[in-house]
């Protein structure tokens, strides 16, 4: 006797990204495995998620195509993800399915870098639109320079010092600005 799953993850689509963001990797894995096991138990009519072995194949548990589609629909509704009808066959155990969900819900380093660069682009557009009133240009410039120094310090990367020939055509104001920047003076 099958029943519809209930429990963790029956909230608004997309809320799982927000739930997982502050968690450690281990806590993310536990939360997503609990989500999968809860819905598997619901689809198969098991009394609790604990009765679902995370490493046992779905086919060994008695999943057929109808149960696979029902599980897919429940997980898609819970996570807000678009999941294929072949999900249970592509990810053959609750553990591999939870790992798949984690990959889809938690951006990897490349996605985070892309997101950060998009934010830099957004910031650049906002800065170009900012009028220089009440010294805002100076304050914003100082904050950006401090942010860059902090970023470089945190990542152990400093740009190579400019060679003396880089200053040959510089005006006095450019030279003083460079000196102030290097010394952190505002």
Domain spans in the chain, listed from the N-terminal domain onward? 15-105, 109-183
CATH architecture of the domain formed by 15-105: Orthogonal Bundle (1.10)
Work out the mean pLDDT of the chain and round it to a whole number. Answer: 80
Tokens of 98: 């939870």
Displacement of CA 76 from its chain's centroid (Å): 18
- 140 vs 145: CA distance, rounded Å: 9
Residue 5 pLDDT grade (very low, low, confident, very high; cuts 50, 70, 90): very low
Question: Quick one: average pLDDT of 121-140?
Answer: 78
- Classify residue 150 by burial, with Cβ atoms within 10 Å: 0-12, 13-18, 19+: exposed
The percentage of the chain sitting over the pLDDT mark of 70, rounded to a whole number, equals 78
DSSP secondary structure of 54-93: TTS-HHHHT--HHHHHHHHHHHHHHH-----TTHHHHS-S
Residue 170 DSSP class: -
- 100 vs 115: CA distance, rounded Å: 21
Give the tens place of pLDDT for each residue, 49-59. Answer: 999 999 999 99
């Amino acid at each position: 006797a099958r029943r519809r799953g209930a429990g963790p993850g029956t909230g608004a689509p997309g809320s799982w990204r927000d739930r997982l963001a502050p968690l450690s990797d281990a806590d993310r894995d536990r939360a997503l495995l609990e989500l999968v096991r809860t819905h598997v138990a619901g689809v198969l009519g098991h009394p609790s998620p604990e009765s679902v072995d995370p490493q046992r194949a779905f086919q060994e548990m008695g999943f057929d195509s109808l149960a696979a589609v029902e599980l897919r629909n429940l997980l898609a509704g819970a996570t807000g993800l678009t999941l294929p009808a072949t999900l249970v066959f592509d990810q053959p155990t609750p553990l591999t399915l939870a790992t798949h969900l984690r990959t889809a819900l938690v951006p990897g380093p490349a996605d985070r870098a892309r997101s950060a660069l998009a934010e830099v682009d957004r910031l650049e557009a906002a800065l170009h639109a900012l009028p220089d009133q009440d010294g805002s240009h100076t304050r914003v410039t100082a904050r950006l320079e401090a942010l860059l120094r902090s970023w470089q310090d945190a990542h152990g990367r400093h740009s190579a010092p400019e060679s003396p020939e880089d200053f040959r055509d510089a005006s006095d104001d450019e030279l003083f600005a460079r000196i102030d920047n290097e010394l952190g003076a505002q």
